[in-house]
Amino acid sequence: MSDLRKSFGSHVVLRDVSLTVERGECVVLIGASGSGKSTLLRCINLLEPIDDGVIRLEGEDITDPRVSADGVRGRMGIVFQAYNLFPHLSVIDNITLAPRRVHKVPRSEARVRGMAALARVGLQDKAAARPDDLSGGQQQRVAIARALVNDPVVMLLDEVTSALDPELVGEVLDLLRELKAEGMTMILNTHEMGFARQVADEVCFLSEGRILESGPPASVLGAPREPRTRQFLSRLQEQ
Amino acid sequence: MPPPDTWRDTGWAPSAVERERAAYRRRRTVRSAGVSALSTLVVVGVATGLLVTSPGWPRVHETYFKWDKAVSSFPAVLTGLWLNLRIMLICAVLIAAFGLLIAVLRTLRGPVFFPLRLFGTAYVDLFRGLPLILVLLLLGYGAPALGLSGVPKSMLFWGCVALVLSYSAYVAEVFRAGIESIHPSQRAAARSLGLTYGQTLRHVVLPQAVRRVVPPLMNDLVSLQKDSGLVSILGITDAIQAARIQTSSDFNYTPYVVAGVLFICLTIPMARFTDWVARRQGFQGTGGHL
């Protein structure tokens, strides 16, 4: 993506954001609340119209108004902080809704694929449960399965552990590590610096809508150049 | 691309790519406006064609859409409509107050309040079950006939009472749904600050509840506006009664159409206002997370 700009009214949330993510790469966005991390992910998923700039997915300009946004979203998976599962559907129906309705996969096949995705996140025995009957970590794993079932070329993960109790964070992060090991392309934002250090190929520090500093985790997290990055990281360590 | 006046002094101007996209979006908007105009024209044209070519059209046209009859009956019907409007406005205020009171009675807790709860429930059951027209007839002819001293004999008064009684039952249920939709954590937070039950209701629960049910209440208001025409069965000269008087001389029903059109003219601004209120509510939504 190049020269991305996004504003809400007169408030500019993202400016001159340029970023390239290679296949199989994991890019971690860090930064304070309101620095534009979530907005960036939502822009990539075309959930927010951008003001200017170009986002390319496998070489195709997906921000062109002639491109079907639904078609583009079908090739991405996004997972939200608050899970956003559909409470009126069972776990398996949450997962198979998009394959059946969007990709017109027959019910039986969708079920097979859904169960495979559930097995992938280690919850195959919860297929018939309702989201409300699951723990936060389990719900988030279902949400990841729901995003995985469409075989996305890239996964967007928006603070997927922020709403979880500390003891439930681990199970979700373990899952993401496995996905990364399998070669899934991921863009995620998180406040878990230890996790970022482990899985990230590239870390981007966002501040006031700009990518202030980016590079391998060892340099951005280990030896930050920008004073603002240092300030942000030291505040995190105090906690 | 946001509108130019929001670029402000950020020194930003759209890139060539973005300008081309904006031009494409504009062309697309123009094209879809053209398509919708054309399809509307075709649908309206076909419907009009079917209507005017039907065998009975000349007769229907003569009885319902006679222009000079419409013009001659217009002033009387309009005068009647002014009464409808006044009935609606006065009743709306009373209904809102009475409906809210009933709703609060129904949500009171504790055994002490059982009689009040019972009254609220019985009231709502009774007046939601009774057809409005029956309430009108019973009160309009029955209440004055009691001949009690101090009880108004005006049909108009009793017509309004019937409207208020009947509508309050519906509005009370809307308010109650609003009150019950406020999450218990709000009550808990207010009580934890030391507010009494009544203070919690007054300062925390009701303000949120009322805001939330404004759109459905507006719907009831539009409905009340039409139903104010039902008082005509008591012989009150509202728009409908005025139209009836006009038709009785020559059995030409155009005045009814005039009354209908006037009612629609009243309702449409109200409906758009309702939409606007509902849309504005959406921005203050308390819904889920992003």
At B5 the pLDDT is: 67
Specify whether the CB–CB gap between A17 and A211 falls below 8 A: yes
Residues 58-87 of A with CB under 8 A from B: 63-66, 80-82, 84
Give the mean pLDDT of chain B: 87
Q: Output b/e per residue, B159-184; b: 16+ Cβ within 10 A.
A: bbbbbbbbbbbbbbbbbbebbeebee
B147 and B98, same structural domain?
Answer: yes
B278 and B135, same structural domain?
Answer: yes
- Candidates A52, A80, A139, partner chain B, best to mutate (most B CBs within 10 A): A52
Backbone φ and ψ for A158, nearest 5 degrees, come out as -100, 100
pLDDT at residue B282 above 70? no
B47 and B83, same structural domain?
Answer: no
Specify whether the CB–CB gap between A135 and A168 falls below 8 A: yes
B20 and B79, same structural domain?
Answer: no
CA distance A61 to chain B (A): 11
Q: For domain A1-75+155-239, give the CATH superfamily.
A: P-loop containing nucleotide triphosphate hydrolases (3.40.50.300)
DSSP B136-175: HHIIIIIHHHT--TTS---HHHHHHHHHHHHHHHHHHHHH
B124 and B43, same structural domain?
Answer: no
At B7 the pLDDT is: 64
Q: Strand order of the sheet with strand A26-30?
A: A76-79, A154-158, A186-189, A26-30, A202-207, A210-215
Tokens 């075309």 sit on residue: A46
- Token pair of B158 as six digits: 């009793």
Q: Is B289 contained in some domain?
A: no
Rounded to an integer, the average pLDDT of B147-153 is: 78
Q: What is the pLDDT of residues B85-114, one digit of tens each?
A: 999 999 999 999 999 999 999 988 888 889
- Measured between beta carbons, the chain A residues lying within 8 angstroms of B283 are none
CATH number of the domain at B140, please: 1.10.3720.10
B10 and B126, same structural domain?
Answer: no
Work out the end-to-end distance of chain A between its first and last CA atoms, rounded to an integer number of angstroms.
Answer: 34
B84 and B17, same structural domain?
Answer: no
Specify whether the CB–CB gap between A75 and A119 falls below 8 A: no
Specify whether the CB–CB gap between B225 and B270 falls below 8 A: yes
pLDDT at residue B281 above 70? no
Rounded to an integer, the average pLDDT of B64-74 is: 87
* CA-based nearest residue in chain A for residue B3: A9
B152 and B15, same structural domain?
Answer: no
Backbone φ and ψ for B241, nearest 5 degrees, come out as -65, -40
B30 and B150, same structural domain?
Answer: no
- For chain B, how many structural domains are there in total? 2
* CA-based nearest residue in chain B for residue A39: B290
At B250 the pLDDT is: 82
pLDDT at residue A198 above 50? yes
pLDDT at residue B166 above 90? yes
| Helices (runs of H) and strands (runs of E) counted in chain A | 9, 11
Min mean pLDDT across A166-170, A184-188, B134-138, B186-190 is at A166-170
| Domain range for B43 | 4-52
**Cα torsion angle, A84, A88, A90, A92, sign:** negative
Q: What is the pLDDT of residues A140-151, one digit of tens each?
A: 899 999 999 988
DSSP B194-217: T--HHHHIIIIIHHHHHHHHHHHH
Longest alpha-carbon distance in chain A: 56
Specify whether the CB–CB gap between A34 and A193 falls below 8 A: no
Structural domain spans, chain A: 1-75+155-239, 85-151
Q: CB B24 to CB A66 under 8 A?
A: yes
